[in-house]
Structure 1
């Protein structure tokens, strides 16, 4: 089965606002149509979770690889995207940017060409240098009003790279929104609330449509800011395969970039929600 690392050609690479690839029609049409036809339904992907309103659900490789009821084409595809061949191809594509941004990383892990792949939350760093995941994901339908499943943020500092392959069904003509935004800081004084940034602190450089068979892969960093545009109320879920490459050391420091009095502001928000009967149920998996 083909893996997504094999389609990261230089023609699809961009260095701004941070190193990334955007690949339309990433998979051969026959492969994509087979996967699209066998996409698990929402109940399977949610694995018992309640759908809520625009919530994120992630079905990780450590579970799907051993799920005998999952379509064999999907098990094969997931296995290919947590394989050593996949890791080798992604690292080769990003090697110049990795060495430029994190020149100390090869001192810690050895030469990039020798980094070993493992499956995240099944294996550990005693036998692997990069733990991979390929999660079958959805954002549940939008019910109460237009909402964004995730605002401007960066991924966890131990992620080396991340990506997604959109799996929008061909008959989904109702979804409006849900595009991925690649962003940059408006000013150097911007500060984080956890991993989140205020929308006023960033500007969008590139927007990738929510289109089936579109791949986005990027190198993580303190500047790898991204967000999802609001979806209008819709009975459809938003589907994608989420790619993760995790390393044993943090690549950047978020703690020194936190907004002042963050905990006090969060406490004030919770008190205000309780007094006004508001319920914040994001349901997001921050992984």
Structure 2
């Protein structure tokens, strides 16, 4: 009996030995990681299933509207309207050059692009603070795909690029001369759009005052206001004390203490904010206790910047001490053009 008791004590002691404890804890950690990975996989499967169901539902509900789109999205009518709306907008220089284009689309076309927003489940596979979809979409209902492909290809690339280049041309040339005094007069500074994205913001969203990547000379924000949305939680524009050039081509975040709020641009239907990404800062936020709790704000963002060839020409003419401030992936991609 004593021998049996001693064996039991020995086994118990073995369980509490440092080596055994470490191995046991390691197995527990492995099981915990496996459980977390499984939960993530199940959640991703749930999201993808809901997306497929949403595609089936919207494809069925909007099948007649899809067939009517070619006649409804009349390029000539929309181009005339967009060009006039941009030309009529006044440039405000404080705190940095910007315009707000009201009624920038024919109202029926604006209502169509809002209606074509993919359901929120298509944003659900990213963290709640960074929910966005690149346009054109990789996965979305047919109606959403068709409408937003038209927005990116025909409205942004075919209409807004030229209209906004004309509007901001003198300001952009002055801005470029400020960091590239040797800019050749013949350099082509016509603007071209980056791939845009639709952003979904919810209560608790915050993006602190910042400037966007430098080679995106213009940032464009289209407010996608659904029926029932109010004008709260748009975009804040700041003047920056002791302002200075951003230290690289990456987004440049500015300390709150240096920022003075100049203007809050409302989240207004059929309006678009465009600003020169040269100085100051912009930001946005939605309080965590904003009502209703399921509040959503949709925006379409795209940037306009010079071609890779123009970037290469400017880099070659910049003083060395300025060139390092414009380094980054965009500059590296342009190196082969000069």
Separation in structure 2 between the aligned mates of residue 194 and residue 83 of structure 1, nearest angstrom: 24
* TM-score relative to the length of structure 2: 0.58
Q: Is 1:135 aligned to 2:197, yes or no? A: yes
**In the TM superposition, what are the counterparts of 1:78-97 in structure 2 within 5 Å?**
78-97=152-171
Separation in structure 2 between the aligned mates of residue 132 and residue 6 of structure 1, nearest angstrom: 23
Aligned length in residues: 230
Q: Is 1:14 aligned to 2:92, yes or no? A: yes
SS for the counterpart of 1:33 is helix
Separation in structure 1 between the aligned mates of residue 159 and residue 246 of structure 2, nearest angstrom: 38
Match of 1:163 in 2: 220
Separation in structure 1 between the aligned mates of residue 84 and residue 194 of structure 2, nearest angstrom: 16
Shift of the 237–208 alpha-carbon distance from structure 1 to 2, 3 Å rule, reads: same
Higher relative contact order (Cα pairs below 8 Å, separated by 6+ residues): 1
Per-residue deviation, 1:28: 1.8
Match of 1:203 in 2: 260
1:110 aligned to which of 187, 194, 213:
187
SS for the counterpart of 1:102 is helix
Per-residue deviation, 1:33: 1.5
SS for the counterpart of 1:22 is strand
2:116–2:143 CA contact under 8 A, matched in 1: no
Q: Is 1:240 aligned to 2:299, yes or no? A: yes
Separation in structure 2 between the aligned mates of residue 11 and residue 39 of structure 1, nearest angstrom: 26
* TM-score relative to the length of structure 1: 0.67
Please report the RMSD computed on the Cα atoms of aligned residues, expressed in angstroms.
Answer: 3.5
Separation in structure 1 between the aligned mates of residue 301 and residue 207 of structure 2, nearest angstrom: 14
Whose helix proportion is higher, 1 or 2?
2
Structure 2 portions without partners, runs of 5+: 1-74, 326-338
Match of 2:238 in 1: 183
Q: Is 1:77 aligned to 2:137, yes or no? A: no
1:21–1:217 CA contact under 8 A, matched in 2: yes
Separation in structure 2 between the aligned mates of residue 197 and residue 204 of structure 1, nearest angstrom: 13
1:186–1:201 CA contact under 8 A, matched in 2: yes
Per-residue deviation, 1:224: 4.1
2:130 aligned to which of 48, 55, 58:
55
Separation in structure 1 between the aligned mates of residue 150 and residue 198 of structure 2, nearest angstrom: 13
Per-residue deviation, 1:204: 1.2
1:191–1:197 CA contact under 8 A, matched in 2: no
Per-residue deviation, 1:163: 0.8
Separation in structure 2 between the aligned mates of residue 206 and residue 180 of structure 1, nearest angstrom: 8
Per-residue deviation, 1:206: 1.2
Structure 1 portions without partners, runs of 5+: 118-129, 257-287
Larger Rg: 2
Separation in structure 1 between the aligned mates of residue 186 and residue 213 of structure 2, nearest angstrom: 19
Separation in structure 1 between the aligned mates of residue 105 and residue 149 of structure 2, nearest angstrom: 16
2:277 aligned to which of 194, 203, 220:
220
